[in-house]
């Protein structure tokens, strides 16, 4: 039974990773086909813009000269998340790990396969809100996964569903004399 549950949780993680990965890849192709870096498309009264950019750096275009480092780090992070995900027994954490892995994989695909060269490709970003950097669906997936992880931690939900020890029970009582 435990093995079946484990496979079920891995299945949830796989599905929750595949959805944002597929949507990210499809929307990036649409953005490349329909938007131009020189001509952003404004909609919703300027609240939302479609601004096509190629980002060889990290968030906010930091570290543009070290794309290979971000690629290697992303591979290590995804591998680490999948290793830890073996302990997941709670559906919420399955969703968290799926969103994080799917988002990271979406940008990793860009880094590995897009120009200028393998392992040094630029990430395609195309969604822009006022006063916010341009981003993509993979970025949204990572942010949503991160928010859900914070919610799970604050609610005391562990990866395997075991109860979180109460702090008052863990600390020995001190003599007040």
Supply φ then ψ for residue 137, to 5 degrees: -65, -40
Q: Using alpha carbons only, give the angle 145, 69, 109 rounded to the nearest 5 degrees.
A: 55
Distance CA(159)–CA(14), nearest Å, equals 16
Of how many residues is the chain composed? 177
Joined together, the tokens standing for residue 152 give: 């799970």
**Pair 123, 136: CB distance under 8 Å:** yes
Does residue 8 form part of some domain?
A: yes
Does residue 132 form part of some domain?
A: no
Does residue 92 form part of some domain?
A: yes
> Is 139 assigned a catalytic role?
yes
Of 125, 160, 166, 175, which one is the catalytic site residue? Answer: 125
| pLDDT above 60: residue 171 | no
Distance CA(139)–CA(143), nearest Å, equals 6
Of 2, 110, 139, 160, which one is the catalytic site residue? Answer: 139
> Is 175 assigned a catalytic role?
no
Joined together, the tokens standing for residue 74 give: 């992303």
What number is the average pLDDT over the span 56-70? 69
- The number of distinct structural domains making up the chain is 1
pLDDT of residue 1: 44
Containing structural domain, residue 114: 2-36+62-123+137-156
| pLDDT above 50: residue 47 | yes
Counting beta carbons within 10 angstroms of the beta carbon of residue 115, is it exposed (0 to 12), middle (13 to 18) or buried (19 or more)?
A: exposed
Supply φ then ψ for residue 86, to 5 degrees: -60, -25
Supply φ then ψ for residue 63, to 5 degrees: 70, 40
Distance CA(128)–CA(175), nearest Å, equals 58
Does residue 107 form part of some domain?
A: yes
**Pair 171, 102: CB distance under 8 Å:** no
Does residue 172 form part of some domain?
A: no
| Predicted confidence (pLDDT) per residue in 8-34, tens digit | 678 999 999 999 999 999 999 999 999
Does residue 98 form part of some domain?
A: yes
Q: Using alpha carbons only, give the angle 134, 138, 141 rounded to the nearest 5 degrees.
A: 110
| Predicted confidence (pLDDT) per residue in 107-160, tens digit | 999 999 998 888 888 899 999 999 988 999 999 999 999 999 999 999 999 998
């Amino acid at each position: 039974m435990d093995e079946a549950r484990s496979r079920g949780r891995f299945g949830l993680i796989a599905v929750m990773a595949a959805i944002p990965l597929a949507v990210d890849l499809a929307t990036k192709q649409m953005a490349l086909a329909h938007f131009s870096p020189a001509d952003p498309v404004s909609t919703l009264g300027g609240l939302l813009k479609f601004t096509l950019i190629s980002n060889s750096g990290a968030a906010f275009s930091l570290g543009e000269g070290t794309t290979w480092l971000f690629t290697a780090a992303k591979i290590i992070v995804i591998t680490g998340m999948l290793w830890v995900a073996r302990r997941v027994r709670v559906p919420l954490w399955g969703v968290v790990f799926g969103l994080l892995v799917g988002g990271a994989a979406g940008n990793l695909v860009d880094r590995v396969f897009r120009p200028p060269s393998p392992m040094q490709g630029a990430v395609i970003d195309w969604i822009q809100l006022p006063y916010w950097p341009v981003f993509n669906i993979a970025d949204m997936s990572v942010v949503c996964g991160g928010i859900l992880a914070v919610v799970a931690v604050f609610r005391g939900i562990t990866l395997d569903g075991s109860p979180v020890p109460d702090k008052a029970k863990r600390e020995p009582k001190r003599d007040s004399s």
